[in-house]
Amino acid sequence: MKTVQELFLQGKTRLRRLPQADPALEAKILLGKAASLTEGEFFASPGRPLSRATEDRFWKLIDKRLERRPLAYLTGEKEFWSLPFAVFPGVFIPRPETEVIVERVKALSSGQKENIVDIGTGSGSLAVSLAKELPLAHIVATDISRRALRAAILNASRHNVLSVTFVQGSLFAPLKALSLKGRLHFLVSNPPYVSEKEWRFCQPEIRRHEPKKALVPGKTGMEFIRRLIQGAAEYLRLSGYLLFEIGEGQADQALSWLDRRWENIKVTNDLAGTPRVVECRRA
């Protein structure tokens, strides 16, 4: 039988074939998954022998990763806002850049009873994180995908969040049925914003495995954002905020669509210095 340290080193060596990956980190995560080891157990017991069944599970995970399957799909979860979120194939994997929206809503919120809508919730990462930070808020989270909503409901339950209502539907359609016109304090979204051209050059982990609908709204990548801006004011109360994520190079186009209905317009960069979140207040 091989030890934790031996399998880790062998796995790290094999994962060096992957471009743009951290082989040590990924080998540790996959070994932890295969052996049901916590991070503390991994570091505390390098000489611990592992069973042949565990070794087999580990190498199967390594092989799948070398096939460019996303790490989050292999482990079944992805961290967002320091919380673990369950993800599986067909569900968009949350990215750390989107945490900027949580930061901005938290900064703008009164912390009292507020109505918040998250359009295109995916795994529920935004809605659940906001519910944890703003426990008095009532949050509605929508998505067109039933599979995504199953993941979101699972994650809300996992984090003991009861203040989020999940509804299936596209863009503003679910909000009409809930009579939310003119009632929202915040409308947030991490919309699809990848163009068809950009999609062709995405990493295989994204192009082969993540749901294209959650990433590509059309030829230019701006189609969903334009519709979001056009319809958002109808649902926000006076001085309510619209916040949405954008891709690199999209800020100028998005800002050009913000007419006299909007004030206090701001673009916040992510940690890499890329313009990432547009926020504006209904005038």
Query: Which residues have a catalytic role annotated?
Result: 92, 190-191
Q: Beta strands of the chain (E only): which ranges?
A: 77-80, 83-86, 115-119, 138-143, 164-168, 184-189, 236-245, 262-269, 275-282
Distances (CA, A) of 115 to 175, 183, 220: 12, 7, 31
CB of 225 within 8 A of CB of 244?
A: yes
CA distance 200 to 235: 35
CA distance 101 to 98: 6
Question: Both ends of the chain: CA-CA distance in Å?
Answer: 68
